[in-house]
Structure 1
């Protein structure tokens, strides 16, 4: 094989293009080279010149800026004559000099500010890459002043909601997938509402801020035997949206996983690999890798970039009802009545098993002697055993939280097999059944009273890599929680949204003491009697996202409501099949802080009395 070292010398000389021509060769090449003074500018020189100036419009902008309130003490004669490039450079130098003078007069250095912002952003990026909790936003949000708006979907119970700002994707039990558009600005109008002579508002403060439905698609049960049908044929149970806004995934009781084009809701691919209902979906953060959970006791992974199936994860002993994932290639799933949460390390092809099944959680709470009474509120006489783990949300790559059917929120760390902390009865207790409902006798003994039952945790979500958790049940509220600074405690932040009780406290300046355990003689919650319930019905799903650069503006929470549970009709709650959008803004320094009385937080704080460890009021 010939190479440079084996070529003849004549061939080497022909490849020397930079050598100066001499003698006859110079006259032979003169028609290509010519005089260097008359040679056209080389292409690279032209490119460099264009990189300095992008056109005459840029020169006009610089001249306008130099004369618009800036120092123009320099002689205009300096700009006369010469090339346009020289004028641009001089104008740019003058503009920068004037900017420096303004910065010095204001008393701060823009370079230092930019340096601090860049350093802060780099620290956050490194923390997120390592999968660590690095944002403390729970105490900076004004949950009691959150504004809200609700909208009807004209369908059966909403089973799931997914958000990709500014769009919402909602699925229902009557096989509907709907796309809604949220308002870009604050939900509530800044102007006060107009009121008529009777005192009633003539205009709603939310009428222009309600989400707008822009597209809907509907399936059919009649096509259940048609394998080529490109839609669901039974209730849709879950939905997820990719972060890049390209894909929407839905799973249903018909065992189908369908991938949709997020723009027009056209089906892209229908997967039928699951052998039972698809119960939960979750995208890996920042990618189009999808995890799906099913009642067939498996989790499957999918690549939506290629619309292909990847692999199946086995291990659960009961149906898998929820799954969550963050940036790393791993996910957390919960298996209902096998009472386990499992961390799947996909790359290592391994899993970590975390076993639940605990009772009330706190030793002090279990040993406390409680007494039931309708007048003072219903309290438990014993611990409520955990029957199933129904919900899971990831805080960071090492911390996650689960919700159970005994109303407990459990905080976990992947380095421990048992919960780090358990917050029992997060949404209180349902009142016991009436004697007529408990006994089969015609005239039952009035003393026959059943025990109060805890409200399940039916929805759970978290802001990734932050200390903020949101949960839902059927007590009429979406409740906010935060992770303690030591990551070993869950603290209550209160219900999300304005209530009549909050307004009364602001007017009177005092907060009435209320019982922690819910329920009363009239069937209402003792702690919420007189309050306005903003989430009436079963909260079947929650979606949360932040607005502004890195969440500087507000946090948006969307609650999917139904009059029955998404997985069945085990409970029926008076309510509307609708959705509620909460916008939680940042609270200014010194405002919105809870009023304390000694060690006890009276109004909306995160703490609670020491005798009620694990029962802190929201």
Structure 2
């Protein structure tokens, strides 16, 4: 026996609008009541074909209201409830048509074309990007579109000790230093278009170069607060890490005093936690939320919720200090454990972890020109950055950058000596003898990877050391290797020198290459302790902004000091090429 809920949709559609007086009495009674409550001037009923035509055209209102798209999408639930006679296939078709119409409107706003001029391929590419973004995979190939040869730079600094960490929440940047000073900077906007559209001639004076960031707020350390248990801030030691939430509401710092301090956007302390039992070394926010991950030397990772100002849980597994951590949109994070030479991917919701072991040997056949003694064994895994939800990269003390996939326990690719080798010692510097044996001279050692960052969900990787420049790397098309893309440094000879490519021929050639690129010509004078990256404009159409924290010393100690270095930060503006940006270079050249 069938009822209204089990009857086929065709029968239900016939019962919704009875045309004869012999229909069900209950149905007529219900309709009579609803008709009594209905307004006196009700619009005449429309045929089924007319309603379908209006659904496909994207107009849900009968009175022709040209309201905003957001209001129409907000009334989707109400419009769905009104279409009782609509089948599941028709509903899917209507929602797909509405989604495509919304994409067309967004592309018209960004690109500036009329609806009839929007290419179908553009919409198809946008749909692919949306699907890939929802799955957390790489979907943007922007490395080849960056013109790093035209990058501009600017050094900004405060009167502090070594800058240990930096974070950005456009247009603001936050720096932390070893003397517990926190500075909020406002990064200058890009210059306006220097060619007015009303004229066809260039102005005599071009736009001024990018100015230094403005100092917005400074929080200096407070003294004699170690015994004050009510003080919400750092009381001793050094600040080792800083992170800003994506919505700009919170700024969090961690230091050697084991404290995790939360500030508002104006650097006013809100809360201080003492849950860690050792120094807090790294912080990372989950993208799109205020969920925070903190790493510490006590070999644990703690999860926090800043919306509720609450501690959630602790993750155990590392056998040594957890020195770096990174996270993206999913509820998971990846961390590195220094001298346990492992990277761990934590699936917080599933309460599981994946372990990736480092310390493997290099393929010496692939590196025939490098001295085997300079291929140092990986002793500490110090840096980590996620490319997408399935790929991440790590940096080590042997100067190598490794590409990992969550589907394999071994690295997919290793780039050895990414920032080159140190200058080799002279025989008299390695021994106290008057005429020492050259065989006792140790081989030149690679420079550590002290900073590592990626542009999330793209193919751009940025790294830093103490060689005087920031290097950019590209993820290959097959996502199984990384390739050199360029460097942000002063001397062009560095790009073509054997030292840049990690090739070591002999001591004389190395010494000549290093002497040709003196420390006076370096843009980044000091140890790059951290890097923060964000894209300019919608979907990075205005280029890439790279901000590097620079100090005289390494953020974890004083074992490495760079002569002539300055404590502060450097901001690089990397533009996109004219062809990639679609700036109509041919038209501007014709106007000249």
Question: TM-score w.r.t. structure 1 length?
Answer: 0.70
- CA 1:240–1:369 in structure 2 vs 1: closer, same or farther (change >3 Å)? closer
- CA 1:369–1:494 in structure 2 vs 1: closer, same or farther (change >3 Å)? closer
Query: What are the Cα deviations for residues 235-280 of structure 1, in whole angstroms up to 9, with x where unaligned?
Result: 1111111111111111111111111101x11111111101111101
Q: Distance in 2 between matches of 1:385 and 1:192?
A: 57
Matches within 5 A, 1:71-110: 110=115
SS in 2 for 1:589: helix
Q: Distance in 2 between matches of 1:525 and 1:274?
A: 49
Match of 1:578 among 548, 556, 568: 568
Equivalent residue number for residue 353 of structure 2: 351
Shift of 1:109: 5.5
Q: Could you tell which deviates more after superposition, 154-163 or 180-189?
A: 180-189
Q: Distance in 2 between matches of 1:369 and 1:495?
A: 22
Q: Distance in 2 between matches of 1:526 and 1:227?
A: 55
Shift of 1:121: 3.1
- CA 1:385–1:543 in structure 2 vs 1: closer, same or farther (change >3 Å)? same
Q: Distance in 2 between matches of 1:427 and 1:141?
A: 21
Q: Distance in 2 between matches of 1:261 and 1:578?
A: 23
- CA 1:513–1:313 in structure 2 vs 1: closer, same or farther (change >3 Å)? closer
SS in 2 for 1:381: helix
Q: Distance in 2 between matches of 1:188 and 1:253?
A: 46
Match of 2:540 among 526, 546, 551: 551
Q: Distance in 1 between matches of 2:138 and 2:189?
A: 28
Shift of 1:114: 7.4
- CA 1:187–1:162 in structure 2 vs 1: closer, same or farther (change >3 Å)? farther
Shift of 1:525: 7.3
Query: What are the Cα deviations for residues 305-350 of structure 1, in whole angstroms up to 9, with x where unaligned?
Result: 1111110000000000000111111110000000000000111101
Equivalent residue number for residue 176 of structure 1: 181
Q: Indicate conservation of the 8 Å contact 2:449/2:464, yes or no.
A: yes
SS in 2 for 1:127: helix
Match of 1:271 among 266, 273, 278: 273
Equivalent residue number for residue 131 of structure 1: 136
SS in 1 for 2:128: helix
- CA 1:271–1:501 in structure 2 vs 1: closer, same or farther (change >3 Å)? same
Q: Distance in 2 between matches of 1:161 and 1:253?
A: 17
Q: Indicate conservation of the 8 Å contact 1:147/1:187, yes or no.
A: no
Equivalent residue number for residue 100 of structure 1: none
Q: Indicate conservation of the 8 Å contact 1:362/1:422, yes or no.
A: no
Shift of 1:225: 3.1
Q: Distance in 2 between matches of 1:528 and 1:456?
A: 20
Match of 1:333 among 310, 332, 335: 335
2:148 maps to 1:143: yes
SS in 1 for 2:365: helix
SS in 2 for 1:222: coil
Equivalent residue number for residue 81 of structure 2: none
- CA 1:152–1:400 in structure 2 vs 1: closer, same or farther (change >3 Å)? same
Shift of 1:501: 4.3
Shift of 1:129: 1.2
Equivalent residue number for residue 244 of structure 2: 241
Q: Indicate conservation of the 8 Å contact 2:140/2:457, yes or no.
A: yes
Q: How many residues end up aligned between the 2 structures? A: 476
Shift of 1:49: 7.8
Q: Distance in 1 between matches of 2:330 and 2:445?
A: 38
Structure 1 unmatched ranges of 5 or more: 1-11, 21-32, 38-46, 55-102, 195-202, 371-378, 506-510, 592-618
Match of 1:159 among 159, 164, 173: 164
Shift of 1:438: 2.8
Q: Indicate conservation of the 8 Å contact 1:473/1:539, yes or no.
A: yes
- CA 1:380–1:285 in structure 2 vs 1: closer, same or farther (change >3 Å)? same
- CA 1:581–1:342 in structure 2 vs 1: closer, same or farther (change >3 Å)? same
Q: Distance in 1 between matches of 2:291 and 2:193?
A: 36
Q: Distance in 2 between matches of 1:153 and 1:588?
A: 35
Q: Distance in 1 between matches of 2:311 and 2:173?
A: 26
- CA 1:18–1:139 in structure 2 vs 1: closer, same or farther (change >3 Å)? closer
Q: Could you tell which deviates more after superposition, 298-307 or 516-525?
A: 516-525
Q: Distance in 2 between matches of 1:493 and 1:559?
A: 18
Structure 2 unmatched ranges of 5 or more: 1-28, 42-60, 69-107, 196-201, 582-592
Equivalent residue number for residue 215 of structure 2: 213
Q: Could you tell which deviates more after superposition, 522-531 or 251-260?
A: 522-531
Shift of 1:165: 0.7
Q: Distance in 2 between matches of 1:17 and 1:149?
A: 71
Q: Indicate conservation of the 8 Å contact 1:159/1:560, yes or no.
A: yes
Equivalent residue number for residue 492 of structure 1: 484
User: Which protein has the larger Cα radius of gyration, Structure 1 or Structure 2?
Assistant: 1
Q: Distance in 1 between matches of 2:153 and 2:192?
A: 7
Shift of 1:185: 1.1
Q: Distance in 2 between matches of 1:186 and 1:425?
A: 37
Q: Distance in 2 between matches of 1:528 and 1:365?
A: 28
Shift of 1:118: 4.6
Shift of 1:383: 2.6
Q: Indicate conservation of the 8 Å contact 1:282/1:292, yes or no.
A: yes
Q: Distance in 2 between matches of 1:369 and 1:111?
A: 58
Q: Distance in 2 between matches of 1:128 and 1:168?
A: 26
Q: Distance in 2 between matches of 1:150 and 1:162?
A: 16
2:456 maps to 1:483: no
Equivalent residue number for residue 294 of structure 1: 296
SS in 2 for 1:363: coil
Query: What are the Cα deviations for residues 486-512 of structure 1, in whole angstroms up to 9, with x where unaligned?
Result: 11111001212554549xx9xxxxx78
Shift of 1:533: 1.5
Match of 2:383 among 343, 368, 391: 391
Q: Distance in 2 between matches of 1:299 and 1:281?
A: 10
Q: Indicate conservation of the 8 Å contact 2:490/2:522, yes or no.
A: no
Shift of 1:364: 1.1
Match of 1:526 among 513, 538, 554: 513
Query: What are the Cα deviations for residues 367-402 of structure 1, in whole angstroms up to 9, with x where unaligned?
Result: x375xxxxxxxx553531000000000011110000
Shift of 1:286: 0.9
Q: Distance in 1 between matches of 2:369 and 2:493?
A: 30
Shift of 1:231: 1.5
Equivalent residue number for residue 531 of structure 2: 542
Q: Distance in 2 between matches of 1:231 and 1:260?
A: 9
Query: What are the Cα deviations for residues 415-465 of structure 1, in whole angstroms up to 9, with x where unaligned?
Result: 1111110000000111233445433x3646263422211100000000001
- CA 1:260–1:420 in structure 2 vs 1: closer, same or farther (change >3 Å)? same
Q: Distance in 2 between matches of 1:485 and 1:17?
A: 62
RMSD: 3.5
Q: Distance in 2 between matches of 1:289 and 1:382?
A: 42
Q: Indicate conservation of the 8 Å contact 1:303/1:309, yes or no.
A: yes
